[in-house]
Structure 1
Amino acid sequence: MEKKPELSIIISTYNAVDWLKKTLWGYAFQTFKDFEIIIADDGSDTQTKAAIEAFSTVFERPIVHVWHEDIGFRKTIILNKAVEASSADYILMSDGDCIPKADFVEVHLKYREQGYFLSGGYFKLPMHISQAITKDDIEQQHCFDLNWLKAQGLKASIKNKKLSARGLEARLLNAVTPTKPTWNGHNSSGWKEEILAVNGFDERMQYGGEDRELGERLFNKGIKSKQIRYSAVCVHLDHARGYVKEEMLIKNAEIRKETKAQQKTYTAFGIKKDS
């Protein structure tokens, strides 16, 4: 029987093949290799399936493709199916438009601790740079190099510290940032048993705070969080969000308000369904 991986990486995607390929190359060049990748696919067409199959020889373990039919934005449902499909004790979640730096997985494993989840951020790239990044740029880590990015037209910003901070400076910035260490779907990790204990994502929720709500139930359960936004770095590729609707945001805000007010630690609309 094969030894289970040290880590399960769940990557969400929906009809964004070019971005998913760049994301997968990011994981192919990680310093730590003992992980499985699970693609949580919210109903993509056959191009995504073909792209995943093309990566079949790149990783030490087979990529697990968890898919359901496209009948609208159902990310929370497919993420729960991906959690169920995972085989490691520890889970890292990110998106198929976020390229991880070479030590991304290593950092998440370094800071993991029982009773905690880890909260990372992302560095947003404009569309023209997102499109310009090649497999070689990912392998050579150009897309995390401020000089290279500035040569591509990246503007000066205080946010650029996310890419330039190293070691002690990164740890200090993690400690002093006013950004709260929430569960962020693009860059967070936690123990599978703790995610299962709060019953995963609330499947009533669509776009807007659905990741945060999971973290809020973890908080209510007594799970704490650590901020690693300057240590675990990924770059976010630009894209439109045509799937966002005002009614989604309103409904999700109501569910989150209820979770906080009632100090909920469990959702009846998660992985296990209350009959």
Structure 2
Amino acid sequence: MKISIIITTYNSQEWLKKVLLGFSVQTVDDFEIIIADDGSTYETKAVIDSFSARFTHPIIHVWHEDNGFQKSLILNKAILKSNAEYLLFTDGDCIPRNDFVATHLRFKEEGFFLSGGYFKLPMTVSKLIKEEDIINQNCFSISWLKGAGLPISFKLIKLIKNYYFNSFMNWLTPTKRTWNGHNSSGFKKDIIAVNGFNNDMKYGGLDRELGERLDHLGLLSKQIRYSAICLHLDHERGYASPEIWKKNNAIRAFNRKNKVIKIENGITSVDSPKM
């Protein structure tokens, strides 16, 4: 298969269903989906099982018991279960446009990772999106979103689907080409080379930290924020705290200063992680 898509989730069945619907109508189908489940209840498995017949390859459900926020650990477990040489990472609250996977495949290149973004929706609009709106792609229409109550803003230009315009905006945007957990991809061998995600990090910057180590490895990054489009559904973030942010920022600062490439507590520590 051409690509493995790793989707993180935690007890968000309504949103995960919408995300899987988005992947079920992609313009390419030679991919596998791996759900990196950070300890959800049985209801999440029921959603995954309900989609089993919609994809060319079986969905792989990677799960561990709920022990607080362990996104890095479940991502590392998912990476080890992946079967493709190229990996695309996104979240269980981001609905992909139907060319999302094809766009990542079109831009992939040895020596690079891809940096995508998202278009963030308020809760009211997130709730209004129905199955048919995803299947027929109405939810990516500016006019449909405006009709659903989305305020007009400059950010709506992200949803314009034009190769030349999107390429120009990717070049023009001042947004840094970082590794973003909701929309980034890279070669599995490169992610393995830096020992994957840092199990010492909780919520806040863990995705960026991986990208910084890929940069230390010598990789460059491509900006595809206006080409690979996904809609970010609103949700609460009860797992953040100033103490965790302080610890994570200290880890990132140390790794940047010392040009750290391969962290100790990563993929190789999955069987006996340091928690």
- Shared fold per TM-score greater than 0.5: yes
Structure 1: give runs of 5+ residues left out of the alignment: none
- 1:60 partner SS: coil
How far the C-alpha of 1:167 sits from its partner, in A, is: 1.1
Write the distance in 2 (CA, Å) between the matches of 1:220 and 1:120.
20
**Structure 2 unaligned spans of 5+:** none
Match of 2:249 among 249, 253, 258: 253
Can you list the C-alpha shifts for 1:168-222, whole angstroms capped at 9, x where unaligned?
Answer: 1100000010000100000000000000000000100000000000000000000
Q: AA paired with 1:132?
A: L
**1:179 equivalent in structure 2:** 175
Partner of residue 202, structure 1: 198
1:165, CA displacement in angstroms?
A: 4.7
Q: For residues 88-109 of structure 1, give each alpha carbon's deviation from its aligned partner in whole angstroms, at most 9, with x where no partner exists.
A: 0000000000000000000000
- 2:63 is matched with 67
Q: Residue 164 of structure 1: CA displacement? A: 1.7
Question: 1:246 Cα shift?
Answer: 1.5
2:131 matched residue in structure 1: 135
Structure 2 equivalent of residue 154 of structure 1: 150
Q: CA deviation at 1:260?
A: 0.3
Q: What is the CA–CA distance in structure 1 between the aligned matches of 2:241 and 2:162, rounded to whole Å?
A: 39
The alignment's C-alpha RMSD in Å is: 1.1
Deviations 1:237-274 (A, max 9, x none): 00011111221111100000011000011100101139
The number of residue pairs the alignment matches comes to 271
Q: Deviations over 1:87-146 (max 9, x none)?
A: 000000000000000000000000000000000000000101101101100011111100
The one-letter amino acid of 1:91's match is L
CA distance in 2 between counterparts of 1:175 and 1:100 reads 22
Distance (Å, rounded) in 1 between the aligned partners of 2:5 and 2:161? 25
CA distance in 2, matches of 1:95, 1:194: 21
- The TM-score with structure 2 as length reference comes to 0.97
Report the AA paired with residue 143 of structure 2: N
- For 2:196 and 2:268, how far apart are their aligned partners in 1? 9
| Structure 1 segment 29-40 matched on structure 2, within 5 A | 29-40=25-36
> How many angstroms apart in 1 are the aligned matches of 2:250 and 2:85?
32
Matches of 2:69 and 2:245 in 1, distance apart? 12
Where in structure 2 are the equivalents of 1:1-275 lying within 5 Å? 5-273=1-269
**1:193 is matched by which residue type in structure 2?**
K
In 2, Cα distance between the equivalents of 1:85 and 1:190? Answer: 16
Q: Aligned to 2:174, what secondary structure does the other structure show?
A: coil
Task: Please give the secondary structure, in 2, of the residue aligned with 1:272.
Answer: helix
What is the distance in 2 between the residues matched to 1:118 and 1:96?
19
SS at match of 2:149: coil
Stretch deviating more after TM superposition (155-164 or 11-20): 155-164
Q: Distance in 2 between matches of 1:262 and 1:168?
A: 39
Identity of aligned residues (%): 55
